[in-house]
């Protein structure tokens, strides 16, 4: 590994990947703490309350995925553009500034936690907007660091070679950074505040992140399956059209109950129902490509995670999303464990999987293009078990939360009309409690999975590959 010369962008990418993995671990550990607090509400009470463990759990997820995306882009940048990263020094500086800022923000979350509830709190402790709680100074820092990242990407492509992937990626990064600013101004009107806040959350997750992942996927397919550039580029354009066509106004499903005009019910319902169509359409393309390529790859872990991405995206975003997205039913499910169930599978399926695939692509290169196909000395048991445990763990948590969410929407929302009585009746119901217990069990399975994943990433491809007799080569 260590003898391989990495280009400047790749060296920076490795730094981003390392922090991404650390934050992934933090996400899972704080998820376990939050899950435990459902089962034993006194656990860490007064020391680290549920609101903080959940905040760190979710923020760590958002940030590790961003680190994974940024790392992935730096990894492919020089190769894709045919030019060294322009302004790499600034890129490195931005990495350290961003990482220091993330560290300070997490330490403040953990040790300061709350403030007087005025502008000081908003600027220096916690902004209070769910998922993007980072205080205002950190918001500004994030935008500055993102601007440096954008400069690196755009200037490198400008001085090197433009391609379809380069164009889509660059435009997407403008949208990504621009949308973040929609969540950065303060208003005392909660409806207005939520209206803009959803621009960050929805339009990141269901539009710009999807397109960013599309770019990484396109590049990943060229690497793992040697798919021709012309093909992946055409598909990238189609994907962008389909995703933006349905995803932008799909934003309406978040506007159902925040005090926006009634027409959002129709717009949100209509476009949300169309959002899974691109996912269904992509099934055809996946079958077509796998039929043509015969799934041959010398990086099986990466390919397996790309396949997990296709399925996870389809089920997590498509099936789990559509089940409760129409306003006629969302009236009861909004904000219950239903949403958590959908969130767990969709974030893992659509984003975690593809970032892990990129880790394996990077690791293969770092280990001198080691053959990560079927000739691994340990038969690749570590990556296979990590893949299995992480997927079983997340799917298990998803189903457990689904059961709890079903009970919650039924008893708390529909039967007892969202009253306090209904809330407590739902929280102590055996279906809810057992769902939470099973969520904890599968959370532990997920934790074991990530332990194994890290072990595998540190060791895979280091040993010499096993040479098999010619007759078994094709297996």
Partner 1 sequence: MLEPVELKDFFIVFFAGAMVIVAGGLYALMFAWSRIQSKPALMRFAYAAYVVLFVAVLVLGSAAHLHGYWWVLVIAMLLGYLLAPHGIWRLCEGTHGHRHRVDRGIRLTERDLETEMFDTAEREAEK
**Cα–Cα dist 378/457, whole Å:** 14
Question: How many residues sit in the footprint of partner 1 (CB under 8 A)?
Answer: 45
Question: What Rg, from alpha-carbon coordinates, does the chain have?
Answer: 22
Span of 86-94, 233-241, 375-383, 428-436 interacting with partner 1 by CB under 8 A: 233-241
DSSP 8-state secondary structure symbol assigned to residue 463: S
Q: Which member of 282, 361, 363, 403 binds partner 1 (CB under 8 A)?
A: 282
* Residue 230 found at the interface with partner 1 (CB under 8 A): yes
**Cα–Cα dist 19/66, whole Å:** 11
Phi, psi torsion values for 299, nearest 5 degrees: -135, 75
Residue window 308-337: x/- pattern of binding to partner 1, with contact defined by CB under 8 A: ------x---xx--xxxxxxxx-xx-----
* Residue 267 found at the interface with partner 1 (CB under 8 A): no
> In the chain, what is the greatest distance between 2 CA atoms, to the nearest angstrom?
72
Which has the closest alpha carbon to 371: 474, 452, 466, 475? Answer: 466
Span of 62-70, 97-105, 280-288, 461-469 interacting with partner 1 by CB under 8 A: 280-288
Span of 29-37, 39-47, 223-231, 296-304 interacting with partner 1 by CB under 8 A: 223-231
Site for partner 1 in 403-432 (CB under 8 A): 406, 409-410, 414-415
In residues, how long is the chain?
475
Q: Closest distance between partner 1 and the C-beta of residue 406, in Å?
A: 7
Q: Closest distance between partner 1 and the C-beta of residue 397, in Å?
A: 18
What per-residue string of b and e applies to 137-146 under the rule 16 or more CB within 10 Å gives b? ebbebbeebb
Q: Closest distance between partner 1 and the C-beta of residue 76, in Å?
A: 17
Q: Closest distance between partner 1 and the C-beta of residue 390, in Å?
A: 22
Tokens 């399975």 correspond to 445
Residue 299 forms beta bridges with which residues?
372
DSSP 8-state secondary structure symbol assigned to residue 464: P
Asked whether the beta carbons of 354 and 213 are under 8 A apart, the reply is yes
Span of 144-152, 232-240, 457-465, 467-475 interacting with partner 1 by CB under 8 A: 232-240
Nearer Cβ to partner 1 (195/314)? 314
Please report how many Cα atoms fall inside a 13 Å half-sphere around the Cα of residue 212, on the Cβ side. 29
Q: Closest distance between partner 1 and the C-beta of residue 9, in Å?
A: 21
Local structure of 295: helix, strand or coil: coil
Positions that interact with partner 1 (CB under 8 A): 228, 230-231, 234-235, 238, 262, 265-266, 269-270, 273-274, 276-277, 279-285, 287-289, 291-292, 314, 318-319, 322-329, 331-332, 406, 409-410, 414-415
């Amino acid at each position: 590994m260590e003898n391989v010369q990495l280009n400047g962008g790749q060296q920076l990418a490795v730094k981003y990947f390392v922090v991404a993995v650390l934050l992934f671990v933090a996400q899972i550990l704080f998820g376990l703490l939050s899950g435990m607090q459902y089962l034993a509400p006194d656990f860490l009470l007064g020391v680290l309350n549920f609101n903080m463990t959940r905040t760190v759990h979710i923020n760590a997820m958002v940030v590790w995925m961003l680190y994974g995306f940024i790392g992935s882009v730096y990894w492919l940048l020089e190769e894709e553009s045919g030019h060294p990263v322009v302004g790499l020094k600034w890129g490195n500086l931005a990495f350290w500034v961003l990482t220091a800022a993330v560290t300070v923000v997490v330490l403040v979350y953990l040790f300061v936690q709350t403030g007087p509830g005025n502008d000081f709190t908003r600027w220096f402790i916690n902004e209070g907007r769910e998922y993007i709680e980072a205080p205002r100074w950190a918001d500004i820092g994030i935008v500055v660091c993102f601007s440096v990242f954008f400069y690196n990407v755009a200037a490198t492509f400008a001085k090197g070679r433009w391609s379809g992937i380069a164009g889509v990626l660059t435009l997407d990064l403008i949208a990504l950074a621009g949308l973040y600013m929609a969540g950065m101004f303060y208003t005392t009107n909660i409806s207005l505040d939520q209206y803009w806040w959803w621009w960050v959350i929805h339009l990141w997750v269901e539009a710009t992140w999807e397109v960013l992942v599309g770019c990484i996927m396109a590049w990943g397919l060229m690497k793992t399956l040697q798919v021709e550039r012309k093909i992946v580029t055409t598909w990238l354009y189609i994907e962008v059209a389909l995703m933006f066509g349905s995803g932008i106004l799909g934003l309406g499903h978040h506007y159902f109950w925040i005090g926006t005009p009634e027409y959002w019910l129709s717009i949100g319902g209509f476009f949300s129902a169309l959002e899974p169509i691109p996912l269904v359409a992509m099934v055809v393309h996946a079958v077509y490509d796998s039929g043509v390529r015969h799934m041959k790859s010398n990086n099986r872990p990466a390919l397996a995670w790309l396949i997990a991405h296709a399925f996870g995206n389809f089920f997590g975003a498509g099936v789990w999303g559509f089940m409760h997205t129409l306003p006629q039913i969302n009236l009861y499910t909004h904000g219950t464990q239903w949403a958590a169930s959908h969130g767990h599978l969709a974030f893992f399926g659509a984003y975690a999987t593809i970032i892990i695939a990129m880790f394996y692509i990077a690791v293969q290169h770092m280990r001198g293009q080691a053959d990560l196909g079927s000739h691994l000395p340990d038969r690749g048991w570590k990556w296979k078990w990590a893949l299995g445990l992480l997927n079983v763990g997340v799917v298990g948590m998803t189903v457990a939360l689904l059961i709890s969410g079903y009970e919650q929407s039924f008893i708390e929302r529909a039967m007892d009309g969202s009253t306090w009585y209904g809330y407590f009746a739902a929280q102590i119901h055996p279906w809810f409690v057992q769902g939470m217990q099973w969520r904890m069990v599968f959370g532990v399975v997920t934790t074991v999975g990530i332990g194994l994943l890290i072990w595998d990433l540190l060791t895979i491809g280091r040993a010499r590959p096993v040479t098999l007799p010619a007759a078994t080569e094709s297996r």
